[in-house]
Amino acid sequence: MKELLSGNAAIARGAYEFGVTVAAAYPGTPSTEILENLVLYPGVYAEWAPNEKVAMEVGIGASLGGARALVAMKHVGVNVAADPLMTFSYTGVNAGFVLVSTDDPGMHSSQNEQDNRHYARFAKMPLLEPSDSQEAKDMVGLALDLSERFDTPVMLRTTTRVSHSQSLVEIQEPQPRKLKNYLKDIKKNLMLPTYARPRRVALEKSLTGLKEYSEESPVNRIEWRDRSLGVITSGISYQYVRDVLPNASVLKLGFTNPLPEQLIRSFAAGVQKLIVVEELEPFIEEQVRAMGLALAAEGFIPYTGELDPGILAAALINAGIITSREGIAQNGYNLEEAPPVPARPPVLCPGCSHRGVFYALRRLKLNVSGDIGCYTLGGLPPLEAMDSNICMGASIGVAHGIGKANPALDARTVAVIGDSTFLHSGITGLLDVVYNKGHATVIILDNRTTAMTGHQHHPGTGRTLAGEQAPAVNMEALVRVLGVNRVRVIDPLNLAETEAAIAEELAASEPSVIIADKPCALLTKATRPAVRVQAEKCTGCRICTRIGCPAISIKDKRALVDAAVCTGCNLCLQVCREGALVKGEEKHA
């Protein structure tokens, strides 16, 4: 039986079919749906961890404990998890372990664009790259088998296009879940220098075996067609090559670290011209060149942004590999004739409580150190109330550093961070402020969910991934126990209260935390009657549009409120100087 599954759903299905018992992740696009699907299968324990490092550690513990484990995260999450990962490749596994890294070429929902294939090589671990959902599912099983056969964690690397695209997947009965015996082996698992040195040697021996396996791996295959051109490719790039160069011979690599050198040499010897097509970094191309093999074109594909058939075709034409886009036309469509995708600039949702905080910050003309989450949109027009944004949990440390560099800026600088992000890795930043006698003012935007990735639970929501009740972190008590004495809770949709609280805390010569407490408007779905416009009072000053609410527009030089979009948060009433905006009444709802 076949089902239409996304790559993420297929990975979850694979974990279920191939005996994964424990899974952990921190939600992050494009990886989030893996655990949301996996938690639905019987016999699998799946959890949201506070961050990716903890998720990795939970997975390591499960593997050492004898259960097959899967840990998932987006590409930047691997940066957070890198510390345990680098050592885990030394200790190796007990039961199989697969790390799913979902990269985001084009930065559809990420702060940077990185190619995590380099992480696999850096950590000296096997790397698998699926091209569609069927391969995504199958490679989970292959990864677990390789993990146990070669005593190593295995990376399964997908990209957004594989994670979120759907294709048919053969559904099979799950294997029995087997729990291996726990093995007390301190020379293997206790990484003191004395024991780590021989494990370093063992790691190289394992890589030698993996390289031999790569030569014979069924996921590395040659597709012979016209031998005038041969293409080495992997992952989603394979699909683009098949679209643009349907007649070319292809070496499709699914196992990409270590590379199968003899297979590559054999393929190169069988074609007249050889090129490499891959997305982002020249990961394969550089290694092929290092083998001394001549390429008909080098570096002809952009190193940045998401690849697609149109970009590939243009790159091939520019490199002189093909002379026209006839390959795409042969597949029944022509990208040049397709209508452009409508521009949809991101914006905070109607009724979002973050809007009040950012409007106040802009009015106060402060320096704002921001963080990762949907509230990052507060940095875009018209609010434009965020100066920087580095990575998860960085806002507090950055604000602290600004104050230490120039104490005069303390009274003009705030850090803004969401509740989920604070629990992810903001706690340590605040602890650093307290310990090192900083004066940072921190605003925790507590909307009681991980909103940006789709309302996932976290330790502050009182629910687990499976929806079961759990102890909920008391944010105010947590902040106080870290040593912050000045803690206050505000309603961020009350502009006067919000502005006054920020001004007062900035004036304090000690760390302070403001908890902007209001559930996500999409989570509660609580709406009040839509705001009404008294047209006779509206002067068309457009001040109401400065809050960036998608329900408000200007028509015929007067404010217009879309009742179908307005949630009745009444924030716009507080910025209208003319009293032209008034609360809606039930009869207008």
| pLDDT tens-digit readout, 130-139 | 999 999 999 9
Q: What share of the chain is helix, strand, coil (3-state, %, to 5)?
A: 40, 20, 40
Sorting pLDDT into bands at 50, 70 and 90, what band is 589?
very low
| DSSP of 421-478 | HIIIIIHHHHHHHHHTT---EEEEEE-SSBTTTTSB--TTTTB-TTS-B-----HHHH
Sorting pLDDT into bands at 50, 70 and 90, what band is 586?
low
Q: Using an 8 Å Cβ cutoff, are 139 and 145 in contact?
A: no
Secondary structure (3-state) at 221: strand
Question: Looking at beta carbons, which pairs linking 286-290 to residues 24 or more positions away fall under 8 Å?
Answer: 287/259, 288/232, 288/264
* pTM value surpassing 0.75: yes
Report the distance separating Cα 228 and Cα 248, nearest Å.
8
Sorting pLDDT into bands at 50, 70 and 90, what band is 524?
confident
Stated as kind and residue range, the H or E segment containing 177 is none
The CATH architecture one would assign to domain 351-515 is 3-Layer(aba) Sandwich (3.40)
DSSP label at 23?
Answer: E
Q: For the structural domain made of 1-214, what CATH number should be given? A: 3.40.50.970
Whether residue 352 is annotated as binding a ligand: the answer is no
Distance of CA 182 to the CA centre of its chain: 33
Return the bridge partners of 552, or none.
561
Q: What is the DSSP pairing of strand 226-234 with strand 273-277?
A: parallel
Say if residue 328's pLDDT is above 80: no
All structural domains of the chain with their residue ranges: 1-214, 218-317, 351-515, 530-580
- pLDDT at site 237: 98
Q: Of 586 and 472, which is predicted with more confidence?
A: 472
Q: Model confidence over 373-422: pLDDT tens digits?
A: 999 999 999 999 999 999 999 999 999 999 999 999 999 999 999 999 99
- pLDDT at site 525: 72
Whether residue 349 is annotated as binding a ligand: the answer is no
DSSP label at 349?
Answer: P
Give me the amino acid identity at 466: A
* Separation in Å, CA 234 to CA 7, 157, 163: 16, 11, 15
Report the distance separating Cα 254 and Cα 543, nearest Å.
55
Report the distance separating Cα 425 and Cα 401, nearest Å.
17
Q: Using an 8 Å Cβ cutoff, are 251 and 242 in contact?
A: no
Sorting pLDDT into bands at 50, 70 and 90, what band is 323?
confident
Q: What is the DSSP pairing of strand 20-25 with strand 45-48?
A: parallel
Say if residue 327's pLDDT is above 70: no
Q: How are strands ordered across the β-sheet holding 97-103?
A: 45-48, 20-25, 68-74, 97-103, 154-159, 127-128, 255-257
- pLDDT at site 335: 61
Report the distance separating Cα 403 and Cα 529, nearest Å.
44
- pLDDT at site 417: 98
Whether residue 374 is annotated as binding a ligand: the answer is no
- How large a percentage of the chain has pLDDT more than 90? 92
Instruction: Give the CATH class of 218-317.
Output: alpha beta
Whether residue 520 is annotated as binding a ligand: the answer is no
Q: Model confidence over 51-69: pLDDT tens digits?
A: 999 999 999 999 999 999 9
Q: Which range (35-44, 320-329, 360-369) has the least confidence?
A: 320-329
- pLDDT at site 326: 59
Sorting pLDDT into bands at 50, 70 and 90, what band is 333?
low
pLDDT mean over 212-237: 97
Q: What is the mean pLDDT of the chain?
A: 94
Report the distance separating Cα 458 and Cα 478, nearest Å.
15
The burial class, CB within 10 Å (0-12 / 13-18 / 19+), for 22 is: buried
Q: Model confidence over 70-84: pLDDT tens digits?
A: 999 999 999 999 999
Q: Model confidence over 142-200: pLDDT tens digits?
A: 999 999 999 999 999 999 999 999 999 999 999 989 899 999 999 999 999 999 999 99
Topology alike, domains 1-214 and 530-580:
no
Secondary structure (3-state) at 173: coil
Q: Using alpha carbons only, what angle is made at residue 187 by residues 184 and 192, rounded to the nearest 5 degrees?
A: 120
Structure tokens at 509: 């010569």
pLDDT mean over 458-465: 96
Sorting pLDDT into bands at 50, 70 and 90, what band is 556?
very high
- pLDDT at site 313: 93
Q: Model confidence over 487-513: pLDDT tens digits?
A: 999 999 999 999 999 999 999 999 999
Sorting pLDDT into bands at 50, 70 and 90, what band is 32?
very high
The CATH architecture one would assign to domain 530-580 is 2-Layer Sandwich (3.30)
